[in-house]
Structure 1
């Protein structure tokens, strides 16, 4: 399974950026999203910045990844999914208005 990681831009130049996540730094391509600024948060997948993230979304992704690791290690993880506790599942916004017709 491949997972995108939130990273913070430390520096940027022509089509790439030096990014950091939890002490690890790596150079990533920004060709898919264009120019980024120092301090921007980006979702990185296989050394490519896929899109910009706001601080809250980056935190939620980090919490989810930490929650998965905790669950796999048998540790408490529910607090890392606080945004999902006591909430009914919801379709993404782009699917809510689509009409589904039964096949028959």
Structure 2
């Protein structure tokens, strides 16, 4: 989500058409415009732009898959290769 206003304790954030207040007490004064990872209405960390974009694309891909739409373009980097498994699963 992107912070659109904050008082240092909570922030009004948006993602797509959704807007909601989230706690920012775990973060060190995130600025307006910062992209944050939100879990259960709490911003848990500030994201770099590239990471925020990748997360947004993955969420869009999941939404497309769940709604029966083509999602290949969202996961083009995975098509044609084996997924990298954690060491304990190899």
TM-score bracket for this pair, using the shorter chain length: 0.7 to 0.9
Q: Does the 8 Å contact 1:28/1:49 carry over to 2? A: yes
Q: Structure 1 length normalisation: TM-score?
A: 0.71
Check if 1:74 corresponds to 2:68: yes
Could you say what secondary structure the match of 1:43 adopts? strand
* Cα-Cα RMSD: 2.0
Matches within 5 A, 1:1-104: 7-90=1-84
Give the distance between the partners of 2:61 and 2:44, measured in 1 at CA: 23
Q: Structure 2 length normalisation: TM-score?
A: 0.81
Report runs of 4+ in structure 1 exceeding 6 Å deviation: none
User: Cα offset for 1:91?
Assistant: 6.0
User: Cα offset for 1:72?
Assistant: 2.0
Could you say what secondary structure the match of 1:34 adopts? coil
Long gaps (5+) in structure 2: none
User: Cα offset for 1:32?
Assistant: 1.1
Q: Does the 8 Å contact 1:42/1:49 carry over to 2? A: yes
